[in-house]
Amino acid sequence: MRKQTVIMGIVAALVVAVSGSWSVRAQDPEATAPAAAPTEYRSIDALRRGAPLQEEPPAAPMARVLDGERRRERDWPEMPPTIPHSIDGYQVTRNANRCMVCHSRAGAERFMAPMVSVTHFMDRDSQVLAQVSPRRYFCTQCHVVQTDARVLVENDFLDVDTVIDRAREP
Ligand code: HEC
Ligand code: HEC
């Protein structure tokens, strides 16, 4: 009986102590101060360049097309090569394909342009057609012009030659 009372007393003292410390904390000026400024919501889209979502930052300057630049190395064999010349005003419509004026089999020699590769003549069953396959007709679906645009998202891509070289290193 006495033991129980002692235990109850300790429990009660603990409760008082704990609630006391809580009430002390509640009066703590730092604890009652208004919560820090609301979290700034930042976009993960690099195009916004870190501007909070509720703000409209000025548009980034457009990248400059590098006309007549050297052909860039492809990062992997199946990469569509980037376009080393301006394509301003080049139309690709149902009736006309300006790119094919120079890049067709017949036009390549005249304009000293590389002919589209044989994959551009293949249908989805790898059957080689007489003309560019519809799935390769809209050139800019895959090929982009070379510009001086800066990299928006950093990456640590290594091409396969580098990977092989590193694997061979003792
Ligand atoms: C007036 C002729 C002409 C037209 C039209 C033209 N090109 Fe080109 N293109 C060239 C020439 C010439 C080169 C080679 C440039 C060099 O070797 O530096 C070339 C290079 C390229 C390359 C690089 C190929 C490689 O192996 O690196 C691509 C891709 C390309 N053009 C795509 C296009 C696309 C897409 C269009 C249409 C939007 C187009 N070209 C329109 C003449 C043309
Ligand atoms: C569906 C994507 C796709 C489309 C559409 C496409 N290409 Fe390509 N292109 C590629 C790929 C991938 C390569 C590199 C591998 C290969 O040759 O298939 C390439 C390679 C090329 C090359 C280099 C050929 C060589 O032998 O070096 C030229 C030039 C080219 N394309 C021009 C064009 C033109 C012009 C068009 C429009 C008529 C076009 N491409 C449409 C994906 C495409």
Q: Are residues 24 and 79 in the same domain?
A: no
- What count of other Cβ atoms lies within 10 Å of the Cβ of residue 69? 16
Q: Are residues 22 and 78 in the same domain?
A: no
- Cα distance between residue 93 and residue 16, in whole Å: 82
Cα 72 to middle of ligand 1, angstroms? 12
Measured by CA distance, the residue closest to atom 14 of ligand 1 is 113
- From the alpha carbon of 103, which atom of ligand 2 is closest? 35
Report pLDDT for 29. Answer: 45
Give the C-alpha distances (Å, rounded to integers) separating 39 from 29, 33, 46.
Answer: 21, 16, 19
**Is 26 within a domain?**
yes
Report pLDDT for 41. Answer: 58
- Cα distance between residue 10 and residue 98, in whole Å: 90
Q: Are residues 84 and 12 in the same domain?
A: no
- Cα distance between residue 68 and residue 126, in whole Å: 33
- Cα distance between residue 25 and residue 161, in whole Å: 62
State which residues of the chain have pLDDT below 50.
1, 15-33
Question: Residue 97: which domain range?
Answer: 63-170
- From the alpha carbon of 69, which atom of ligand 1 is closest? 18
Long-range contacts of the stretch 54-60 (C-beta < 8 A, 24+)? none
Report pLDDT for 4. Answer: 66
The encoded tokens of residue 99 equal 């790119």
* Closest CA relative to residue 47, chosen from 154, 152, 155: 152
Q: Are residues 21 and 95 in the same domain?
A: no
Whole-model pTM?
A: 0.79
Cα 61 to middle of ligand 2, angstroms? 29
Report pLDDT for 78. Answer: 94
Question: Which helix H or strand E contains 7, and what residues bound it?
Answer: helix 2-27
Report pLDDT for 37. Answer: 52
The encoded tokens of residue 46 equal 């690099």
Report pLDDT for 42. Answer: 56
**Is 137 within a domain?**
yes
Instruction: Please answer whether residues 144 and 74 qualify as being in contact, where contact means their C-beta atoms are separated by less than 8 angstroms.
Output: no
**Is 103 within a domain?**
yes
* Closest CA relative to residue 21, chosen from 31, 35, 36, 8: 31
Cα 12 to middle of ligand 1, angstroms? 86
- How far apart, in Å, do the first and last CA atoms of the chain sit? 79
Report pLDDT for 55. Answer: 86
Q: Are residues 27 and 72 in the same domain?
A: no
**Is 43 within a domain?**
no
Report pLDDT for 35. Answer: 52
27 phi and psi angles, rounded to 5 deg: -85, -10
Cα 137 to middle of ligand 2, angstroms? 10
